Each structure stands twice: as C-alpha cells, then as structure tokens.
C-alpha cells in the first residue's frame, strides 16, 4: 500500500470505523512510524499533534482499537481504518467522538422497525399496523404464516414481481411479530452471528 506521507508534513488523516457496525468512531492522524506500529501491534496508533509523540489509542484507558483492516483513498493521502473498539472511543466516555451510539443499523429496515414500534406504542385507528397489534399475537402470527405460504407459492411460479411483493409482505409481518414478542431485528441478526462463529 502506497501512502503519501509527504503532502501534509508527514501526517495523513486516519478515519476510524467500527469494522462490524460501520459507525465512524473518530479521526486521528498517523505518520509513517504510527502506521508501521499499528500494522506491527494490531493496535491502532496515532501521532499526537499536541503531545508530539506516538499515541496508541487505549494506552491509558485500556479501550484499545484492535486493527482489522486499513484502506488508502484514491489520492493515497487518507486512511480508512477498520477496527474493533474495546470500549468507548471518545475521551469523554462516549462510543464515538460525535457522541453517537455505536450500534448496528439496518438502513430502511431500521426506519420501518421504528415506525412499527410507534404504531404499537401509539395506536392509530387508521393504521393497518396498529390494527394488527390490537388483534393480538395470534392474528399477527397467523399473518406471518399466511405470507410465508404465499412466498412459497410465488417461488414456484415465474412472476418475479409477485414473488418480491409477497417477500416484502412476509418481512413486514415478521417485523410486526418481533415487536409483538418484545424483540427486534437486531436480536435475530445477533443470533445468526452467534451461529456463524
């Protein structure tokens, strides 16, 4: 990997991202020595501009950043560092230096899940989702079963549009069932991760 340490007086920005959640955790700077130490020790090390020395994240707090991978950008002057944080990253005790939670997100599915949760907690007479919660767990589970059967039927046919639509219905009703049971999509993903290990 060719890194241009000369452009900015021997330093390159290093964006630190959680390798699993993809959350941006912090920004630091590396010189060539810090980069080499990071590679050698597998613990993310920076050059501290205030202390004028190498600084391994976690050397005092023990909240190290275990190195997973490093990529360099198209200009060879910025690093993207994938790491596993062993505790809060910010010196103020926060998960990130932007005071954000370091949690997995599932894009639109997370948005949909929050809408479903809101329909459960704040029922709306005009909402189909609210009506499912009012009918109770048996009706919700029945809907998941019905949608699963429809997915199987459409899988045997050649109509891709119907198959995708039925798959969307199944996923939606499954998310409703998870909320009704007091769980969320992350619980399912965590279970799959455990099985994968």
* CA dihedral (97, 100, 104, 107) positive or negative: negative
Write the CB contacts of 76 (distance below 8 Å, at least 6 apart in sequence). 2, 3, 4
Mean pLDDT over each residue of the chain, to the nearest integer: 96
> Which range marks the domain in which residue 184 is found?
108-196
Which tens digit of pLDDT belongs to each residue from 176-190? 999 999 999 999 999
Where does a domain end: 21, 54, 85?
Answer: 85
**CA-based nearest residue to 173, from 121, 135, 124:** 135
What is this structure's pTM? 0.75
Whether residue 78 lies inside any domain: the answer is yes
Beta bridge partners of 83: 18, 67
Tokens in use for 127?
């909402």
The C-alpha atoms of residue 85 and residue 182 are separated, in whole angstroms, by 28
Q: Are 31 and 11 in contact (CB under 8 A)?
A: yes
Q: How confident is the model at residue 41 (pLDDT cuts 50, 70, 90)?
A: very high
Which tens digit of pLDDT belongs to each residue from 58-78? 999 999 999 999 999 999 999
Whether residue 176 lies inside any domain: the answer is yes
- For residue 60, give the CATH number of its domain: 3.10.20.810
Which tens digit of pLDDT belongs to each residue from 135-156? 999 999 999 999 999 999 999 9
**CA-based nearest residue to 30, from 87, 127, 43:** 43
Beta bridge partners of 96: none
Above 80 in pLDDT, residue 197?
no
- Asked if residue 179 and residue 115 are part of one domain, the reply reads yes
- The pLDDT assigned to 104 comes to 84
Write the CB contacts of 25 (distance below 8 Å, at least 6 apart in sequence). 16, 17, 18, 65, 83, 85, 89, 95, 96, 97, 102
Q: How confident is the model at residue 8 (pLDDT cuts 50, 70, 90)?
A: confident
Angle ∠(128,129,133) on CA atoms, nearest 5: 115
Strand, helix or coil for residue 41:
helix
The total domain count for the chain is 2
Above 80 in pLDDT, residue 94?
yes
């Amino acid at each position: 990997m060719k890194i241009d340490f000369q452009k900015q007086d021997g330093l390159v920005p290093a964006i630190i991202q959680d390798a699993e959640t993809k959350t941006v955790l912090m920004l630091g700077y590396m010189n060539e020595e810090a980069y080499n130490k990071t590679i050698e020790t597998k613990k993310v090390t920076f050059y501290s501009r205030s202390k004028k020395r190498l600084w391994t994240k976690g050397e005092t707090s023990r909240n190290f950043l275990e190195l997973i991978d490093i990529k360099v950008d198209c200009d060879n002057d910025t690093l993207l560092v994938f790491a596993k944080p062993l505790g809060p990253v910010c010196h103020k005790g926060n998960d990130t230096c932007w005071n954000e939670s370091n949690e997995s997100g599932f894009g639109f599915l997370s948005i949909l899940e929050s809408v479903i949760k809101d329909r459960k907690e704040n029922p709306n007479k005009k909402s189909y989702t609210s009506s499912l919660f009012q009918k109770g767990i048996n009706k919700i589970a029945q809907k998941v079963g019905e949608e699963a059967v429809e997915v199987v039927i459409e899988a045997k046919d050649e109509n891709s549009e119907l198959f995708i639509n039925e798959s969307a219905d199944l996923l939606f009703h499954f998310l409703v069932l998870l909320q009704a049971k007091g769980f969320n999509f992350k619980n399912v993903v965590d279970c799959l991760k455990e099985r994968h290990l």
